[in-house]
Amino acid sequence: MAGSNEVNANESKMVVPLNTWVLISNFKLAYNMLRRPDGTFDRHLAEFLDRKVPANAFPVNGVISFDLLIDRATNLLARIYRPAPTAPPDSHRPSLHADLQSPPSPDPFPVIIFFHGGSFAHSSSNSAIYDSLCRRFVSLCGAVVISVNYRRSPEHRYPCAYDDGWTALKWASTEPWLHSGKDAKLRVFLSGDSSGGNIAHHVAVRAAESGIEVSGNILLNPMFGGNQRTESENTLDGKYFVTVQDRYWYWKAFLPEGADRDHPACNPFGPNGMKLEELPFTKTLVTVAGLDLTRDWQLAYAEGLEKAGHDVKLVYREQATIGFYFLPNTDHFYEVMEEIKNFVSSNC
Amino acid sequence: MGPYPFGSGTAASGWAAADSGPQCSASEIDGLLAGAGYRVRSSDLLHVAHSLERLESAIGGGPADHLASAEAVRYNPSDLTTWVNSILSELSSSLPPLRPPPAAPVAGTWPDLTCFSLPYPQYQTAVIAATRQREEEEGSAIRLVHLLVTCADAVQRGDSGLAGNIIEEMRVVLTRVNTGFGIGKVAGYFVDALCRRIYSPCSSSSSASVAGSAADQEILYHHFYEVSPYLKFAHFMANQAILEAFDGYDRVHVIDFNLMDGLQWPALIQALALRAGGPPFLRLTGIGPPSPDGRDALREVGLRLAELALSVRVRFAFRGVAASRIDDVRPWMLQVVPGEAVAVNSVLQLHRLLGDPGDDAAAPIDSVLGWIVRIQPKIVTVVEQEADHNRPSFLDRFTEALFYYSTMFDSLEAGGGATQKQQQAVAEVYLQREVCNIVCCEGAARVERHEPLVRWRARLGRAGLRAVHLGSNAFKQASMLLTLFSGEGYCVEEVDGCLTLGWHSRPLISASAWRADADVAPLPDSQLFNPGIAATINSTSISGNDNNNTNNFQSMHHGSGNGNAAANNQQNNATCDGGVIGL
């Protein structure tokens, strides 16, 4: 349908800078190649096309990173980002290398467990776009960031990604160097974009059920949906890089066989959702992009949290599209980063 | 769209371009996209955008998985301009014609579209030519591997006529591939080695010429050490194990089976210096080949290490033991002192003591392992190549080596920039010599008898050694060590308490630590050390005055109760170097 494509391209061109348009359009093209109509996914090609960066224990702009295997049983890797360690004042230590797993400061510091996006199927903790974002979080908040390399669909469906997120949270709670302050507490924030935001929510629910205290959730354009067709899905379909059909594909690949999009993983405040009223659920900062076709589901999520009596701050960027947080070239980017910084510092 | 430029500044982390600086020049790479892993010139951005639009039109709204089979999809994704254009070229016949630019440019967003031009036919022919060349090269590479294996088979069957013919053919094929990297390069080395085997068979003397002088070997080793993580990993793991085994001991003694440049030891000396409770008295006995031309290489290394130890205030004593082969070394030469904690360190040495499989009686490995165990070391650190290059069948060995060294060379190629390339070339010679030894030599001349960890486990177990678990901390630290390298394909794995380092899930080197079983009888004192010597070391302060010490040492030797060998015994090739250097 060449005609409608022409309109689509023109509309998205008008709201994002050229390099952002190229970046996200390129993702769209590549992702279209990877999804097969029969529900399978070309994982080899996906890994080949994904631009990855290695971890780097040499400081770059004061931030270092290293990869850790945090669970042998599932080969769960995480990339840890932290401020570059300073030389210890006195060095009565036998270890041969600088202590990467030491507290970055004597004062309380936040730990951000980050789940990258990719609609449950794409990207990894070593994807270049997410490496950049996590490094930014370190500088922004003085945080240690743990980017979890969770298992992806369609090879690993619900609840694998949530299990991996939970494993990461439990791991962090047993690492002494991540605890800070006079009360030696883990000041942990769960965070993610797109599917990562969805994972952060569900891990936070498990944390609330299990009595692990989470200082806050930071969800960037979190991925939610449902069986209904919302207004934003109708009006924005195909206009800003994303189509309703591709959303459906990713949910089908993630949810259990036979489940529909009112499954609580996809629609936590839908007909099969869990009641969160009684739970000590954490505070949440949610960003919603006005030009994201799943906008209505995200707004419903924020409303659902509020109705359940939980603290929610909604940051609504009317003219933003998906992926506005990848490149630091818009007001959306800088203003949202500022919101995140304030949220973390006031809840740490 | 706001005051933000397209991107400028360093690509290291993308977000470094946060400051809104001046608009970067058109020929520069867009810094923000570079941070996302894509190299696109700012001046090409518009063109790439249009290409993406064209591709989208071609796909329509439906599934695009059929595009995945396009050849161009597997071109370098970072070079986005070429990637997108190549896919477009491949689909060119089915694309609609270029859309004319809109009548009125959209104000305030993208600039005038009239600069847009796509030299279509040129792209097309260039892409097709590149594709043909790549196919040809791939075909040649596969052919080379086939020819190599066929040639090795002919060699094994003794058909040197056929083998010679195949070599000629391989030389021809090599002219059609890029021998600067990849399979072309590796194949070149193996063809050379086969050639040497057929036309100048190995004898002890020629193996020496293949191996080169000890000084050359040190240079090659040093370069190999620099450009890849394998030796660093080995040293690091061994040092960790040694450090832990030395915990709580005031007098420690490291016996290094191949001192070389002493690269492994500064780190250990520094770690001991920082030890809680203060450093122990460290003795290092370095074994190495005798130096020609009146040089005393071992002592030079010992002197340098002594200086370092002095600077960090670690009491240190060094002894060099010159021996062409480890099995020429006798325990008494090591001067083990009662009460000291001993560590035996063997990095890529034990395999040299093996013989042909099945012919174990003739191999010196068992007697060497025997005395190692009986000096009751607190720890024995063993690093070996993770490969089976000691199989009885030549063809098996050859094929194994081809795949092992292909992987190894691959990993070297993945490393750094221009200066690294020169070092890399020298490091490759180091590996090339191993290849030559495996392919060309037989009998005593073949020393690169690599065996996999699983067989070393059995062998060391039979000798009375038990594995010491290297621990998850060592694994973690090894993984951290790897993050210092830019090659992303390295992987550390843990196998029953031992660690391996490999490239893309093929383990290439293993590190393990062992201790003697409690119920193994120690060597009798007369074989182990001379009580007279021990008394001297304990009571006198060891000065740096070499002449005195040399004299003392030699006189002690002659007075030794053990009749086995004196300093200059012709029977065995080991001499104990004079000069116990200390603080």
Q: CB–CB of A1 and B61 under 8 A?
A: yes
**Cis upstream peptide for A154 (omega within 30°):** yes
Q: Does position B470 have pLDDT exceeding 60, yes or no? A: yes
In sequence order, which ranges of chain A are alpha helices (DSSP H)? Answer: 2-15, 18-34, 43-49, 128-141, 160-173, 195-210, 231-236, 244-254, 295-307, 331-347
3-state secondary structure of B211: helix
Note the pLDDT of residue B419.
62
Find the range with the poorest average confidence among A70-74, A121-125, A173-177.
A70-74
Q: Which two tokens stand for residue B99?
A: 């859309």
Note the pLDDT of residue B175.
83
Residue A97 lies in a domain: no
Considering only alpha carbons, which residue of chain A is nearest residue B46? A18
In sequence order, which ranges of B60-203 are alpha helices (DSSP H)? Answer: 80-90, 120-156, 160-174, 182-199
Note the pLDDT of residue B572.
34
B182-199 pLDDT, tens per residue?
A: 778 889 899 999 988 888
- Quote the CA–CA distance of B47 and B406 in Å, as a whole number: 40
Q: CB–CB of A35 and B63 under 8 A?
A: yes
Q: Which residue has the higher pLDDT, B292 or B357?
A: B357
Q: Are strands A188-193 and A216-220 parallel, antiparallel or unpaired?
A: parallel
Q: How far is CA B457 from CA A150, A232, B297, B390, B466, in A?
A: 35, 64, 33, 16, 9
Tell me which chain B residues have a C-beta less than 8 angstroms from the C-beta of A49: 73, 77
Find the range with the poorest average confidence among B66-70, B233-237, B569-573.
B569-573
Q: Which residue has the higher pLDDT, A147 or B99?
A: A147
Note the pLDDT of residue B349.
95
CA atoms within 13 A on the CB side of B17: 28
Tell me which chain B residues have a C-beta less than 8 angstroms from the C-beta of A25: 49, 52-53, 56
B493-533 pLDDT, tens per residue?
A: 888 889 999 988 889 999 999 998 766 666 665 665 543 33
Q: How far is CA B263 from CA B286, B513, B553, in A?
A: 12, 19, 27
Q: CB–CB of B37 and A135 under 8 A?
A: no
B43-98 pLDDT, tens per residue?
A: 899 999 999 988 888 777 677 888 888 888 888 899 999 999 988 888 865 444 44
pLDDT band at B322 (very low <50, low <70, confident <90, very high): confident
Average pLDDT over chain B, rounded to an integer: 75
Q: Are strands B316-322 and B281-288 parallel, antiparallel or unpaired?
A: parallel
Q: Does position A26 have pLDDT exceeding 90, yes or no? A: yes
Find the range with the poorest average confidence among B119-123, B357-361, B462-466.
B119-123
Note the pLDDT of residue A88.
54
Q: Which residue has the higher pLDDT, B207 or A209?
A: A209
Considering only alpha carbons, which residue of chain B is nearest residue A21? B49
For CA atoms B550, B556, B558, B560, the dihedral sign is negative
**Rounded (10°) angle between helices A128-141 and A331-347:** 50
Note the pLDDT of residue B105.
36
B526 CB-contact burial (10 Å; exposed 0-12 / middle 13-18 / buried 19+): middle
Mutate: best of B480, B492, B493, partner A, most A CBs <10 A = B480
Considering only alpha carbons, which residue of chain A is nearest residue B64? A33
The pLDDT of B7-17, averaged and rounded, is: 28
CB B294 within 8 A of CB B560: no
Which chain A residues in 3-22 lie under 8 Å from chain B, judged by CB atoms?
4-6, 9-10, 13-19, 21-22
Tell me which chain B residues have a C-beta less than 8 angstroms from the C-beta of A135: 13, 15
With a pLDDT cut of 70, the percent of chain A lying above it is: 93
Q: Does position A273 have pLDDT exceeding 90, yes or no? A: yes
Residue A241 lies in a domain: yes
Among candidates A15, A58, A68 on the partner chain, residue whose Cβ is nearest the Cβ of B484: A58
Q: Does position B556 have pLDDT exceeding 90, yes or no? A: no
Closest Cα of chain A to B328: distance in Å? 34
Tell me which chain A residues have a C-beta less than 8 angstroms from the C-beta of B48: 22
Mutate: best of A20, A49, A321, A327, partner B, most B CBs <10 A = A327
- Quote the CA–CA distance of A243 and A309 in Å, as a whole number: 33
- Quote the CA–CA distance of B520 and B506 in Å, as a whole number: 36
The pLDDT of B404-417, averaged and rounded, is: 81
Question: Mind giving me the DSSP string for B47-71?
Answer: HHHHHHHHHHHHHTTS--GGGGG-G
- Quote the CA–CA distance of B201 and B13 in Å, as a whole number: 55
The pLDDT of A161-171, averaged and rounded, is: 98
Number of folded domains that form chain A? 1
Q: CB–CB of B53 and A9 under 8 A?
A: yes
Burial B19-47 (b: 16+ CB within 10 A, else e): eeeeebeeeebbbbbbbbbbbbbbebbbb
- Quote the CA–CA distance of B582 and B316 in Å, as a whole number: 5
Phi, psi of B466 (to 5 degrees): -115, 140
Considering only alpha carbons, which residue of chain B is nearest residue A100? B480
The pLDDT of A329-341, averaged and rounded, is: 95
Tell me which chain A residues have a C-beta less than 8 angstroms from the C-beta of B45: 18-19, 22
A217-244 pLDDT, tens per residue?
A: 999 999 999 999 999 999 999 999 999 9
**Cis upstream peptide for A159 (omega within 30°):** yes
Q: Which residue has the higher pLDDT, A143 or B541?
A: A143
Q: Which domain holds residue A151?
A: 9-83+106-346
Note the pLDDT of residue B494.
86
Q: Which residue has the higher pLDDT, B331 or B9?
A: B331
Q: Does position B570 have pLDDT exceeding 60, yes or no? A: no
Closest Cα of chain B to A332: distance in Å? 10
Find the range with the poorest average confidence among A98-102, A138-142, A286-290, B494-498.
A98-102
Domain positions in chain B: 120-200, 221-392+453-525
Question: Mind giving me the DSSP string for B450-513?
Answer: ---HHHHHHHHHHTTEEEEP-HHHHHHHHHHHHTTSS-TTEEEEEETTEEEEEETTEEEEEEEE
Q: CB–CB of B484 and A45 under 8 A?
A: no
Mutate: best of A75, A329, A331, partner B, most B CBs <10 A = A329
- Quote the CA–CA distance of B51 and A257 in Å, as a whole number: 38
Residue A90 lies in a domain: no
- Quote the CA–CA distance of A185 and A182 in Å, as a whole number: 8
- Quote the CA–CA distance of A106 and B530 in Å, as a whole number: 55
Q: CB–CB of A25 and B49 under 8 A?
A: yes
CA atoms within 13 A on the CB side of B57: 20
Tell me which chain A residues have a C-beta less than 8 angstroms from the C-beta of B37: 51-53, 128-129
Count of pairs with CB atoms under 8 A, one residue in A, one in B: 196
Residue A282 lies in a domain: yes
pLDDT band at B132 (very low <50, low <70, confident <90, very high): low
Find the range with the poorest average confidence among A83-87, A300-304, B115-119.
B115-119
Closest by CA to B214, choosing from B247, B170, B268, B260, is B260
Among candidates A45, A51, A326 on the partner chain, residue whose Cβ is nearest the Cβ of B68: A45
Question: Mind giving me the DSSP string for A111-159?
Answer: EEEEE--STTTS--TTBHHHHHHHHHHHHHHT-EEEEE----TTTS-TT
Angle value at C-alpha B412, between B410 and B416, nearest 5 degrees = 120
Considering only alpha carbons, which residue of chain B is nearest residue A319? B1
The pLDDT of A293-313, averaged and rounded, is: 97
Considering only alpha carbons, which residue of chain A is nearest residue B47? A22
Tell me which chain A residues have a C-beta less than 8 angstroms from the C-beta of B51: none
CA dihedral B543, B547, B551, B557 (to 10 degrees): 70
Closest Cα of chain A to B228: distance in Å? 16
Closest Cα of chain B to A115: distance in Å? 18
- Quote the CA–CA distance of A73 and A22 in Å, as a whole number: 39
CB A66 within 8 A of CB A55: yes
Tell me which chain B residues have a C-beta less than 8 angstroms from the C-beta of A331: 2
Q: Which residue has the higher pLDDT, B65 or A333?
A: A333
Helix/strand/coil (H/E/C) assignment for every residue in B173-206: HHCCCCCCCHHHHHHHHHHHHHHHHHHCCCCHHH
B267 CB-contact burial (10 Å; exposed 0-12 / middle 13-18 / buried 19+): middle
Asked if A63 reaches chain B (Cβ–Cβ under 8 Å), the answer is yes
CATH number, span B221-392+453-525: 3.40.50.150
pLDDT band at B410 (very low <50, low <70, confident <90, very high): confident
Q: Does position A30 have pLDDT exceeding 90, yes or no? A: yes
pLDDT band at B480 (very low <50, low <70, confident <90, very high): confident
CB B22 within 8 A of CB B5: yes
pLDDT band at B568 (very low <50, low <70, confident <90, very high): very low
H-run or E-run covering B343? strand B341-347
Which chain A residues in 96-115 lie under 8 Å from chain B, judged by CB atoms?
96-97, 100-101
Q: Does position B547 have pLDDT exceeding 70, yes or no? A: no
Considering only alpha carbons, which residue of chain B is nearest residue A127? B36
Longest dimension (CA), chain B: 105
Note the pLDDT of residue B267.
94
H-run or E-run covering A69? strand A63-71
Q: Does position B6 have pLDDT exceeding 80, yes or no? A: no
Asked if A95 reaches chain B (Cβ–Cβ under 8 Å), the answer is yes
Residue A277 lies in a domain: yes
CB B515 within 8 A of CB B380: yes
Asked if A307 reaches chain B (Cβ–Cβ under 8 Å), the answer is no
Note the pLDDT of residue A97.
42
Q: Does position B380 have pLDDT exceeding 70, yes or no? A: yes
Q: CB–CB of B63 and A1 under 8 A?
A: no
Other Cβ atoms within 10 Å of A304 Cβ, number: 18
Note the pLDDT of residue B338.
86
pLDDT band at A296 (very low <50, low <70, confident <90, very high): very high
Considering only alpha carbons, which residue of chain A is nearest residue B235? A96
Among candidates B18, B96, B476 on the partner chain, residue whose Cβ is nearest the Cβ of A328: B18
Closest Cα of chain A to B484: distance in Å? 6
CA A336 to chain centre: 14
Residues 6+ apart with CB under 8 A from B36: A23, A51, A128, A129, A132, A326, A327, B14
For CA atoms B143, B148, B151, B152, the dihedral sign is negative
Q: CB–CB of A42 and B4 under 8 A?
A: no
Closest Cα of chain A to B333: distance in Å? 31
A174 CB-contact burial (10 Å; exposed 0-12 / middle 13-18 / buried 19+): exposed
Q: Which two tokens stand for residue B361?
A: 């009686």
Tokens 């608009």 correspond to: B23
Q: Does position B378 have pLDDT exceeding 60, yes or no? A: yes
Tokens 């629609």 correspond to: A267
Q: Are strands B490-495 and B281-288 parallel, antiparallel or unpaired?
A: unpaired
pLDDT band at B343 (very low <50, low <70, confident <90, very high): very high
- Quote the CA–CA distance of A134 and A143 in Å, as a whole number: 10
Query: How many residues in chain B?
Result: 583
Closest Cα of chain A to B428: distance in Å? 24
Q: CB–CB of B77 and A33 under 8 A?
A: no
Most confident of B287-291, B375-379, B413-417, B544-548: B375-379
Among candidates A1, A45, A330 on the partner chain, residue whose Cβ is nearest the Cβ of B60: A1
Tell me which chain B residues have a C-beta less than 8 angstroms from the C-beta of A91: 274
Find the range with the poorest average confidence among A304-318, B115-129, B356-370, B521-535.
B115-129
Q: Which residue has the higher pLDDT, B242 or B417?
A: B242
DSSP B517: -
Burial B398-428 (b: 16+ CB within 10 A, else e): bbbbbebbbbbbbbbebbeeeeeeebbeebb
Residues 6+ apart with CB under 8 A from A222: A192, A193, A194, A196, A197, A198, A200, A201, A286, A298, A301
Q: CB–CB of B37 and A128 under 8 A?
A: yes
Closest by CA to A42, choosing from B66, B62, B85, is B66
Q: Does position B246 have pLDDT exceeding 60, yes or no? A: yes
CB B40 within 8 A of CB B29: yes
Q: CB–CB of A67 and B240 under 8 A?
A: no
Considering only alpha carbons, which residue of chain A is nearest residue B246? A94
- Quote the CA–CA distance of A166 and A164 in Å, as a whole number: 5
Tell me which chain B residues have a C-beta less than 8 angstroms from the C-beta of A136: 15
Residue A53 lies in a domain: yes
Closest Cα of chain B to A30: distance in Å? 9
Closest Cα of chain B to A109: distance in Å? 22
Q: Output the domain CATH number for residue A326.
A: 3.40.50.1820
Closest by CA to B511, choosing from B384, B416, B401, B396, is B384
The ipTM is 0.92
CA dihedral B174, B179, B181, B187 (to 10 degrees): 40
Closest by CA to B377, choosing from B496, B465, B287, B457, is B465
Which residues lie across from A286 on neighbouring strands?
A219, A314
